[in-house]
Structure 1
Amino acid sequence: MAIKKFEDILVWQKAQDFSVRIYQQFNASKDFAFRDQITRASVSISNNIAEGFERKTNADFSRFLYFSLGSNSEVRSMLYLAEELELIAGVNSKELIEASNEISRMLYGLINSMKTKS
């Protein structure tokens, strides 16, 4: 059965949950520039999935999935930096990095599944 709306895409759901976790983790951070950058990048992950899906072509959807991967990598890179700057505890950082890695694997899987259908 084909997916009819982006809300049904599992990786979109995981990206939404991930963004909520990022917001919660950095909500009290006094480093406003860092907080703004990491939260905006986290939101971009699910937004690019949604926008690409609505474009209605596999080529456009795939392109936006790559944008999503880029945003996810940006968040993951910032998580490593946040740990070094002591903006986040190591255990929290590791959990969020693993969640980010899972999203990357899912995005690559979705991209690859679209390639085999073309």
Structure 2
Amino acid sequence: MADSKRTSERINFVHRDEIWKAHIKIEKDSDEAWPNKWGFLTEVYKEYDMKNEKLKEALKDMTVQQRVRPLTPPQENTHVGPSPPVPQTTQAFIGWRSGHPHLQLEKYNTVH
């Protein structure tokens, strides 16, 4: 800290004590004002906690088969076609797949 480097200067203990008292007073005032400003958050947290407990109980009642979604076979949804040849230059490499209509991401409509 800066105080440890400045050993030649005198330390005003009374001034430091007043600063400390001001900090404590601000903390105390904030502690008293918090329920009026932010007390509603405690009620929301209690509601959240009750819902969380209900969900935990429902999860305990489920079997392992009900918790885990069955796997989708990859051959049903994945159709990979042949890729176009890789371009020779780096400038042509940018967007080289999107130039082909069957490889574009927007299959149904363009985004505006």
User: Which TM-score band (shorter chain)?
Assistant: under 0.3
Whose Rg is larger?
A: 2
Higher helix proportion: 1
With structure 2 as the length reference, what TM-score do the two structures score?
Answer: 0.26
